[in-house]
Structure 1
């Protein structure tokens, strides 16, 4: 399951344009759906007769994408597991749109015109695991979200505020995608993420000027690319000790405060490329599991012999497989060869002449 979620994070996490989601591929990946159905397939032919107009029905899936629908169709078979409503013109979700669909596993409403969702629209949908609402016109997080959902995607809506307890009761959530919303730090209320134990949070392409400090402490991956963050301070990561992958690319970061990275002892991968750093962030040599650090396209003019590797042999548990320093003003011939003594193989370091 975690492998599937990771694949979805990488493919859907930070798209700049609408990408059609292949519901059948997702269905095949989530084997648990087959076990959840608990039904005999012998009578599916009878249910085809009640398939909503303009939709295609097959065992466990109703596909109604790209049909110009302005509302959720009626007469959806009650034992369906997946509903594909992508790329339509639906403007709102009403209270009874999904009434009786208590076996639903995945609901895909990507790329519609939804601006309003009734507070009781997801009532009794206790088996829903995947809820994709990206590319719509929502201004806030819908109320009473399904309690057992594991993936929530709100990429590219108009959300500028996350109220306290917005995700209350979602104890099984693994993936929360909020990227490409006009969300600033002031729009995140204290306690907005109360009760969450999610693994991935995506808030790229927003209006953040600092690392949010009230995210779930359980996160292992945080994506804050394409924001307006200009510094990273010690207090920014105190809560996120489980963090393994951090992406701060394409911000305006000028410095990383000394001691900041000490709070992420399990970090494996850090993206700080395309910023305004003038030196290698302090503390990298103390990160025993760090394998990849991306620092290209900054303003780094000097690299010290101990910037990446610890002084004592054997302290580092994982060797680097990627250090990128190209597109910086540092001259590669000025870097001492011992600087990369804890890198596994020649191709683990990417240097290059600085070009204006």
Structure 2
């Protein structure tokens, strides 16, 4: 009768070992791919060649860095367990789309970095649950359009990066809910026009970058509500100074000269400063052909410089990512491994399963004899 008892004990021991193997032995010190810090709740999986999000990231993780990998898609449940996240870094991957609902459980998220991917579009409502988001990076993608209402729930947003995409137009009211927005970067797109009133609700906006687009004029009064504006970049646009639509911009620049940085650099297609244009020079009525075909566009590949100090925006070699962003290798790793499954972890798991199966067969064999 001792045989079944010994087999049962062996089964318990193997099960305990299997659970330990499945839940631990996966942080860097145990052969895992990611660096985990149980004091700061940070998980850093930078530049590991990952093609999928690791499945057992600790649920209490506060900061998750997945930059510099080979992620081309995300399951819609990728972050559903991580409702404590405040910062998610997905830049320098190969994401082409975002599944609907992928960020729905990140209700504490403060910063989301999607820079340097291959996003061509955004699903409607993809950011609707990120009500605490203050910084959103979407630059250096391939966005050609924005869904209506895509930013409507981001009422706490203070900085929005949309530069270096392929946007030709903005939806009406796209920024209407962003009353706290302070910095808006739209440079190096293919914007050929701006909707009337598109900036009317941005009374806290301090920095607006529109340089290097295809703008020929702006609607009357488009900047009038920007009472907090201190910097605006308008240069490297083909401003059409032969027709009277330019007169509003010319007058606004003269009024704000010395008060708003960067406006004097706006020049007409003939290189004359926009602020110098007179009514006699801009006497024609503006009649433009179809804005989608009127001006040949060139995809801009150079990075725009920025004076913003929030996060550096110049690309750096993969090996310098941590130094570049100020990441530091944690000096303390968890005493109980709680990170991601490694290859060695999987091998151990398979071995445990084999031994567990043998133990079960052993128990059944003795029970039958008994």
**TM class by smaller structure:** 0.5 to 0.7
Compute the displacement of 1:211 (Å): 4.6
Conservation of the 8 A alpha-carbon contact between 1:240 and 1:264: no
Shift of 1:259: 2.8
Cα pair 2:265 2:273 within 8 Å, conserved: no
> Which of 231, 244, 263 does residue 245 from structure 1 map onto?
231
- Report the structure, 1 or 2, having the larger strand content: 1
Rg larger for: 2
- In 2, Cα distance between equivalents of 1:234 and 1:76: 52
CA RMSD, aligned part only? Answer: 2.7
Residue in 1 that maps onto 2:174: 192
TM-score, reference length from structure 1: 0.60
> For the residues of structure 2 that align with 1:224 and 1:252, how far apart are their CA atoms?
12
Does 2:6 correspond to 1:56? no
Q: How far apart are residue 230 of structure 1 and its match?
A: 3.0
- 1:67 corresponds to 2:45: no
The alignment's TM-score, normalised by the length of structure 2, stands at: 0.57
- The one-character-per-residue Cα deviations of 1:91-142 (angstroms, maximum 9, x if unpaired) are 1121221122111111010011111222211122111011000111212234
**Higher helix fraction (1 or 2):** 2
> Which stretches of structure 1, 4 residues or more, deviate above 6 A after TM superposition?
none
* Secondary structure, counterpart of 2:221 in structure 1: helix
Which blocks of at least 5 consecutive residues in structure 2 are unaligned?
1-22, 278-370
Distance 1:119 1:135, change over 3 A: same
Given that residues 237 and 264 in structure 1 are in contact (C-alpha distance below 8 angstroms), is that contact kept between their aligned partners in structure 2?
no
For residue 93 of structure 1, give the secondary structure of its aligned residue in structure 2: coil
Aligned counterpart, 1:24: none
Instruction: Name the CA shift for 1:272/1:112 in 2 (closer, same or farther; >3 Å).
Output: farther
2:131 to 144, 147, 150: 147
Mapping of 1:1-356 within 5 angstroms? 49-51=25-27, 53-58=32-37, 59-142=40-123, 143-145=125-127, 146-185=130-169, 188-197=170-179, 198-211=181-194, 213=196, 214-215=198-199, 216-218=201-203, 219-231=205-217, 234-253=220-239, 255=241, 257=247, 258-261=250-253, 267-273=259-265, 275-276=267-268, 277-279=271-273, 281=275
Instruction: Label 1:268 to 1:97 Cα distance change in 2 as closer, same or farther (>3 A).
Output: same
**Please, which runs of 5 or more residues in structure 1 have no aligned partner?**
1-46, 284-356
Instruction: State the distance in 2 between where 1:274 and 1:149 align.
Output: 33
Decide whether the 8 Å contact of 1:166 with 1:193 is kept in 2. no
- Higher normalized contact order (CA 8 Å, seq sep 6+, divided by chain length): 2
What is the CA deviation profile of residues 224-278 of structure 1, one whole-angstrom value per residue up to 9, with x for unaligned ones?
A: 1211223456433133233211011222235452432478699431244374442
**d(CA) in 2 for partners of 1:254, 1:193:** 26
Give the equivalent residue in structure 1 for 2:298: none
Q: Tell me, what secondary structure is at the counterpart of 1:259? A: helix
